Amino acid sequence: MTEQIATNVHWHDGEVSRDDRYRTLGQKGATLWFTGFSGSGKSTVAVALEQALMRRSRLSYRLDGDNIRLGINKNLGFSAADRTENIRRIGEVGKLFADAGIIVLSSFISPYRADRDSVRALHQEGGLDFIEIYVDCPLDEAERRDPKGLYKKARAGQIKNFTGIDDPYEAPNAPELVLKTAEMTLSQEVDAIIELMIQRGILFSA
Which residues is 163 bridged to in the sheet? 167
* Buried b / exposed e along 33-58 (16+ C-beta atoms within 10 A): bbbbbbbbbbbbbbebbbebbeeeeb
DSSP reduced 3-state for 27: strand
Among the listed residues 69, 89, 155, 180, the single contact to a second copy using CB under 8 A: 89
What is the C-alpha to C-alpha distance for residues 128 and 201, in angstroms, rounded to an integer? 12
Q: Is 92 in the site for a second copy (CB under 8 A)?
A: yes
Q: Is 135 in the site for a second copy (CB under 8 A)?
A: no
Could you confirm whether 107 is annotated as catalytic? yes
User: Considering only residues 31-50, where is the footprint of a second copy by CB under 8 A?
Assistant: 41, 44, 47-48, 50
In angstroms, give the least distance from the CB of 15 to a second copy: 6
Q: Is 20 in the site for a second copy (CB under 8 A)?
A: yes
Q: What is the dihedral of CA 89, 27, 135, 95, to 10 degrees?
A: 10
Give the CA angle between residues 6, 10, 12 to the nearest 5°.
115
Count residues binding a second copy (CB under 8 A).
Answer: 49
Answer for the pair 79, 58: CB distance below 8 angstroms, yes or no. Answer: no
Q: Is 124 in the site for a second copy (CB under 8 A)?
A: no
Q: Is 159 in the site for a second copy (CB under 8 A)?
A: no
Sites of contact with a second copy (CB under 8 A): 1, 4-5, 7-8, 11-12, 14-16, 20-21, 24-25, 41, 44, 47-48, 50-51, 54, 57, 59-61, 63, 67, 71-72, 75, 85, 89, 92-93, 95-97, 99-102, 141, 144-145, 147, 181-182, 185-186
